[in-house]
Amino acid sequence: MKRYLGVLLGVLTAIGGFVDIGDLVTDAQVGARFGWSMTWVVLLGVGGICVFAEMAGRIAAVSHRATFDLVRERLGPRVGMLNLVGSILVTLLTFIAEIGGVALALQLVSSVNHVLVVPFVAAAVWIVLWRAKFSSIENVLGLLGLSLIGFAVALWQLGPDWNDVLHQLAPTSNPGGESWTTYAYFAVALFGAAMTPYEVFFFSSGGVEERWTRKDIGVMRANVFIGFPLGGILALAIAGCAAEVFLPHGISVETLGQVGLPVALALGKIGLAVVVLGFFAATFGAACETGLSVGYSLAQYFGFQWGKYVRPRDAAGFHVIILLATALGAGVLLTGVDPIMVTEMSVVFSAIALPLTYLPILVVANDPDYLGEHRNGRLANVLGVFYLGIVLVVSLAAIPLMIVTSMGQH
């Protein structure tokens, strides 16, 4: 019974923790501008993160090695350093966006300008990362993140014409009449948001933190193959709500408040309050994950002690890095930079960093030294190579598309 409860808790927190500020903003923007025509990108991205998270989780369970360990071991110190610099920049950018997202969620509730809230949010994130248990962070914020189910309920209440939705599912429908380069840019951003590298850094490091063993592979797979796709459905619901409310009027999504507006229309104040709680939990949870991921990446590259499974004094360098990253994030946001713009940049740069993260995972997942009998089977390899090809194309296309479309403006 305890085991089943553990699986259920893991799945629920995987659903609640799946969506972050990048998904919230990008899904709503895409829904408002492209309707349901990018559903295939969400499904593709969810499939990709499932494939690689499962491999990274399996490696963590069997060999107790997290993803950045593998990056340096297989790519060497030079290319590993290149990846480290790129990944840290992307993860820091995402961390900044998440802290900004928490501040924006609190602004929705309090009407206090988000810049004034940022120092308190940053302090709260750091205290939680310093003092709270790893499992408490994951479980409490993951369960609160389930409040975003409000979007699925709102979509049902908005009563979309499902025949029309079915027509829009075709990638060629492009109901907003946007140019195809803009379409491609947002497809790359959406894919980057779904497969952002910090997710595997955090997932695999979390496996080491929680002392996964071979016995936990089943539970890990349940989290990935049930929790992530259900989280993906939440992402689709967010896009769907925006498609129903904004697309017919040609309104684009520029603020977090607009992301929640369809829920307010469908479910009233109570519904809005529930999803704003979801915004807070999802962004605060992701802020914790990205903050930890900055520390994980650096510590795993250089090999010094990391993790919340040891006392802070035993992983002092790791905690100092998190403190500095939090201070830097708060400092950037205090300049008045728009967190939504930071989010848009972070998901595109995520797309660029993907291959250097996922190639070592795929290679090591085939290495009997690490995985023995648990190494990749044929299906995992076919899917891994398929997705590796896609992330390569996406990463090469990201910067040209960003320049050509002026970050999706035209």
Partner 1 sequence: MTARDRYDVSLHLLDRQIVGAADRLVAKVDDVELTRLSDGRLVPTALLVGLPALLPRLSGLLARMHRLTRAAAADRDLPLVADLGLVDEVGSDVRLNVAHARLPRMERARAEDPHRLRVGDVLGIPVRCAELPRRSKVLDLCVVGVPGHAGRDDPHEVVALIVGPGRPGALLGYDRRSEPGPAVVAGIVRWLHRHARVVDLGPGVVLDVDAGEVRIERGTSLLPLRG
> What region does 177 belong to: left with phi over 0, alpha with psi -120 to 50, or beta?
left
Nearest approach, Cβ of residue 78 and partner 1 (Å) = 6
Taking the least distance from each CB to partner 1, the nearer of 54 and 344 is 54
Nearest approach, Cβ of residue 360 and partner 1 (Å) = 8
CA angle 201, 50, 11 (to 5 degrees): 90
Taking the least distance from each CB to partner 1, the nearer of 141 and 362 is 362
Taking the least distance from each CB to partner 1, the nearer of 186 and 296 is 296
Nearest approach, Cβ of residue 292 and partner 1 (Å) = 16
For residues 233 and 229, what is the distance between their CA atoms, to the nearest angstrom? 6
Taking the least distance from each CB to partner 1, the nearer of 73 and 164 is 73
Q: Which residues of 47-67 are buried (b: 16+ CB within 10 A; e: fewer)?
A: bbbbbbbbbbbbbbbbbebbb
For residues 94 and 20, what is the distance between their CA atoms, to the nearest angstrom? 9
Report the residue count for the chain.
Answer: 410
For residues 35 and 176, what is the distance between their CA atoms, to the nearest angstrom? 7
Taking the least distance from each CB to partner 1, the nearer of 84 and 149 is 84
How many amino acids of this chain bind partner 1 (CB under 8 A)?
Answer: 39
Stretch touching partner 1 by CB under 8 A, among 247-255, 259-267, 280-288, 379-387:
379-387
Q: Residue 254: what residue type?
A: E
Question: What's the token pair of residue 248?
Answer: 């017919």
For residues 239 and 50, what is the distance between their CA atoms, to the nearest angstrom? 20
Q: Mark residues 277-316: x for contact with partner 1 by CB under 8 A, - for none.
A: ----------------------xxxxxxxx---x---x--
**Is residue 384 part of the contact set for partner 1 (CB under 8 A)?**
yes
Q: Which of 143, 381, 392, 397 binds partner 1 (CB under 8 A)?
A: 381
CA 175 to chain centre: 27
Nearest approach, Cβ of residue 318 and partner 1 (Å) = 10
For residues 20 and 285, what is the distance between their CA atoms, to the nearest angstrom? 8
**Is residue 373 part of the contact set for partner 1 (CB under 8 A)?**
no
Q: Treating both helix axes as pointing N-terminal to C-terminal, what angle do 21-34 and 67-110 enclose, rounded to 10 degrees?
A: 70
Question: What's the token pair of residue 370?
Answer: 């690490």
Q: Tokens 């369970």 belong to which residue?
A: 61
For residues 187 and 30, what is the distance between their CA atoms, to the nearest angstrom? 8
With contact defined as beta carbons under 8 Å apart, do 260 and 275 qualify?
yes
**Is residue 368 part of the contact set for partner 1 (CB under 8 A)?**
yes
For residues 158 and 144, what is the distance between their CA atoms, to the nearest angstrom? 24
**Is residue 210 part of the contact set for partner 1 (CB under 8 A)?**
no
Taking the least distance from each CB to partner 1, the nearer of 132 and 392 is 392
Q: Which of 8, 77, 116, 179 binds partner 1 (CB under 8 A)?
A: 77
**Is residue 85 part of the contact set for partner 1 (CB under 8 A)?**
no
Residues numbered 28 to 47 that lie near partner 1 (CB under 8 A) are none
Taking the least distance from each CB to partner 1, the nearer of 156 and 386 is 386
Question: What's the token pair of residue 14?
Answer: 């995987």
Q: Which of 265, 366, 374, 399 binds partner 1 (CB under 8 A)?
A: 366
Using alpha carbons, select from 68, 107, 94, 134 the residue that is nearest to residue 325. 94
Q: Which of 48, 57, 80, 142 binds partner 1 (CB under 8 A)?
A: 80
Binding footprint of partner 1 on the chain (CB under 8 A): 63-65, 69, 72-81, 299-306, 310, 314, 359, 362-363, 366-370, 372, 376, 381-382, 384-385, 388
